[in-house]
Structure 1
Amino acid sequence: MSKQRLVILGGGESGVGTALLGKAKGYEVFVSDKGKIKDKYKEVLIHNEIDWEDENHSEEKILNANIVMKSPGIPDKVPLVKQIRESGILVVSEIEFAVNYTSATIVGITGSNGKTTTATLTHHILKQELAVGLAGNIGDSFAKQILEKDYPNYVLEISSFQLDDIVKFKPHIAVITNITPDHLDRYDYKLENYIASKFRIAENQTKDDYLIYDADDDILTKWLQEHPVQSTLLPFSLVKTIENGAYLKDKNIIITIDNNQIIMPTTSLTLEGNHNIKNAMAASTVAHLLKIRKQTIRESLENFQGVEHRLEQVLKINKVQYINDSKATNVNATYYALESMDAPTVWIVGGVDKGNNYEELYSFVNEKVKAIICLGVDNEKLLKAFGNMVDTIIETKHMSEAVKIAYKIAEAGDNVLLSPACASFDLFENYEDRGRQFKEAVRNL
């Protein structure tokens, strides 16, 4: 019998990880990337004798696949992807392909905001007592970890794009942190398509599995009423009393699962803001389900350092605090950032707009923002939205210039906040690149 042919579109972290796992499992593997494959990934492919191409998609070498793993960055609208599907070839995401080769307990975390912090925090708590990998949208690829380490447990940060291409994938514990309009450009500008995509995380779950979600999020609760899932529900809330799940009472997080209750003080959380209490609730609920000791959960919440590019305090210069929130790639994330500002703020914003509605930021901008620096190729929408609200609004296309302007405007006691509310691809490689350039520019002041 001839080998099954696995074609991988995209030669990044998930693509190369899948190629390695596929080869080890006996597939004939071909990696194709329309862009340039980074040298470090090329070296891995060459070293492992895996066939590849970049800056091109050779249809004759792709359309003879038995299965195609496509990188989450490639939209379904691409003609080649349509052609692959029309040929009846199965298209899957990395997590769908890889999960077939592990019997690990999987915690899957998705949501518009908070998923990286929640996934990193969950992993931070679990690793104190369990052997556990962290993968998905973060760190080393899931497929590669299964091949090299095969942990008995994984925490996966999963985007809606990865969930779009699952078939049988199901996490034992699923978390949906929240849903706000994001990436609508990939979902025909229909919010319900995006919501449905997020809820695929629970579509294969049974009553023996768990879904942890934000009960204060109207989009989530309404969807669950209209589209019930099989899983056991464990909601969390800041305002309601929750019988099975987590809630806040007198500055304590109270988590109850099958009458087994634990109580955590929020006063000792290292991360600030209500949204981080929610992230802590979700992570602690997962830990409680997996029988982590209460003392361990509490200590882990107290010593967790947070995530790079997420409200990261960079430096204080002349009594001005510089804050890197480059990970805020949508309006809701920036909402949390502005909400947590307790001083007059010079706000650096802009990039690739995904159909943003800036109205929910107006009250914070009026109250807290003294100047706006637009950092994008096209800032027209920002100028229209905020032009009348602040005395100073300036356009620039270079991070170093944006930071220098901010330095001139800010006075002792102010904050300078990079919280773009947009994707970064117009001027930067990705949000990490944008955040690192910001930090470098601040250090060079």
Structure 2
Amino acid sequence: MKNKQKIAILGAGESGVGTAILAKKQGFEVFVSDFGKAKVKYKKALNDLGVEWEEGGHNEARILEADIVMKSPGIPEKAPMVQKLVEKGIPVISEIEFASKFTSAKIIGITGSNGKTTTTKWVYHILKNAGLAVGMAGNVGDSFAKQVAEENFDWYVLELSSFQLDGIIEFRPHIAVLTNITPDHLDRYDYKIENYIESKFRITRNQTEDDFFIYDADDELTLAWLGKYQIKAQKLPFSLDTKQKMGAYLEDNNIKIITPNSQFIMPKSSLALEGKHNTKNAMAASTVAQLLRIRKETIRASMENFQGVEHRLEKVLKINNVLYINDSKATNTNATYYALDSMESETVWIVGGVDKGNNYAELLPLVNEKVKAIICLGVDNAKIFEAFGNCVEVMMETQSMTEAVQMAYKLAEKGNTVLLSPACASFDLFENYEERGREFKNAVRNL
């Protein structure tokens, strides 16, 4: 690497500032540019670092002088600044690609439309319990680049979105997990599911025969892709429906895991988290643990005492024998499908937000069976009304969480469940799904 290579960083958020910290340590000349407004804590971090930065627009001439550009995942490929960089032939990469060049730690990369946060945290939980020197980053925890700069881990567990994978060139996880593929973020992929699938499979593109690829053998889109394309990594499928020669499957209500050198069995009933989707998440996480030769007692204990993820089927309170559940992290229909499927009583469903190209048809049987009333929470609810208008007797509309929860309180009867599972992004009324979930919990506590 020639001395004082120039890196421009687009976006002064967690990944941008983390990349700046690592790039400065590695001797790069660093410039950070945010088209919007950066948070105070990130501006302070950049000032403390002595890095030049700007907000409220891009200094194009300065950015186009860079040898390499790190683009934050929230910035679309079609952004004018990104297009100009591509036209000029300047490499535009993700934080994941950049940081992976400066660590010798082995990487476990986890992606998928749903379940990736739970699986990432579950794997991290097992590895920590086993006493490994492990960091967790990507979409969760501190920036990966920042941890590479400041920590000395042997392993990283990375939750990877399709946007982060779009910016990789040589990134290679030793173990890659693809939890599932369902239509999501199609607005960023020209509304073509094949573009989104290709993006997810980038996680395995640089893997070799010495690496492992763990995937859902019940997932039709995943299987269709694997039927057309070859991958080099050793494949370890998991399934609720079919026995596997290698990988994980259910037999007599036991989870069985077979890896190249070992076997593991544990009863499904001892899992900390309920629901079919969590059984699959547990299969993926414990397959990773088996590959790492972690003691079976440690895996079992970690399967039993894992606390789960905030905003994912999180039980908030029971009021007048009505259970309120926060599933704000359900930002697509597949996540909401699993939520509705796990409901065991009549449900008042709070749904809506920014539609990312949803097809609500798959939810119709569950809505008919489980939902007594729908409360739409979003700026534009026309598509939801069109999809479910004939399914339920009561369908209401609101644009505030407090009002939505108060409506639900009036509609729910003893023994019912109130479920916030939006099936949509949150950006019309909230900063992110976390804020949406927190507002739901606060509104419930204030009833």
Is residue 7 of structure 2 the alignment partner of residue 6 of structure 1? Answer: yes
Query: Distance between the aligned counterparts of 2:91 and 2:129, measured in 1?
Result: 39
The DSSP-based 3-state class of the residue aligned with 1:377 is coil
Per-residue CA deviation, residues 381-418 of structure 1 (Å, 9 max, x unaligned), is: 11111111111111111001111111111111110000
The DSSP-based 3-state class of the residue aligned with 2:180 is coil
Counterparts of residues 34-433 of structure 1 (less than 5 Å): 34-129=35-130, 130-433=132-435
Per-residue CA deviation, residues 105-159 of structure 1 (Å, 9 max, x unaligned), is: 1000000000000000010011112111110000100000111113110000000
Query: Distance between the aligned counterparts of 2:381 and 2:56, measured in 1?
Result: 31
Query: Distance between the aligned counterparts of 1:150 and 1:180, measured in 2?
Result: 36
Query: Distance between the aligned counterparts of 2:261 and 2:381, measured in 1?
Result: 53
Query: Distance between the aligned counterparts of 2:110 and 2:238, measured in 1?
Result: 14
Q: Answer whether contact 2:3 2:27 (CA < 8 A) is retained.
A: no
1:222 deviates by 1.6
The DSSP-based 3-state class of the residue aligned with 1:267 is helix
Query: Distance between the aligned counterparts of 1:285 and 1:422, measured in 2?
Result: 31
Query: Distance between the aligned counterparts of 2:258 and 2:333, measured in 1?
Result: 33
TM-score, scaled relative to structure 1: 0.99
Query: Distance between the aligned counterparts of 2:246 and 2:186, measured in 1?
Result: 33
Q: Percent identity?
A: 67
Query: Distance between the aligned counterparts of 1:222 and 1:362, measured in 2?
Result: 25
The DSSP-based 3-state class of the residue aligned with 2:223 is helix
Q: Name stretches of at least 5 consecutive residues in structure 1 with no aligned partner.
A: none
The DSSP-based 3-state class of the residue aligned with 1:127 is helix
Q: Name stretches of at least 5 consecutive residues in structure 2 with no aligned partner.
A: none
Query: Distance between the aligned counterparts of 2:76 and 2:28, measured in 1?
Result: 25
Q: In 2 relative to 1, CA 295–96 (structure 1 residues): closer, same or farther, beyond 3 Å?
A: same
TM-score, scaled relative to structure 2: 0.99
Query: Distance between the aligned counterparts of 1:236 and 1:144, measured in 2?
Result: 33
The DSSP-based 3-state class of the residue aligned with 1:390 is coil
Q: Answer whether contact 2:405 2:440 (CA < 8 A) is retained.
A: yes
1:7 partner letter: A
Query: Distance between the aligned counterparts of 2:220 and 2:392, measured in 1?
Result: 32
Query: Distance between the aligned counterparts of 1:346 and 1:66, measured in 2?
Result: 54
Query: Distance between the aligned counterparts of 2:142 and 2:262, measured in 1?
Result: 35
The DSSP-based 3-state class of the residue aligned with 2:97 is helix
2:129 partner letter: Q
Equivalent residue number for residue 31 of structure 2: 30
The runs of at least 4 aligned residues of structure 1 exceeding 4 Å deviation read none
Per-residue CA deviation, residues 249-272 of structure 1 (Å, 9 max, x unaligned), is: 011111111252111111111111
Query: Distance between the aligned counterparts of 1:220 and 1:150, measured in 2?
Result: 35
Query: Distance between the aligned counterparts of 1:126 and 1:385, measured in 2?
Result: 43
RMSD: 0.8
Query: Distance between the aligned counterparts of 2:383 and 2:259, measured in 1?
Result: 47
The DSSP-based 3-state class of the residue aligned with 1:385 is helix
2:12 partner letter: G
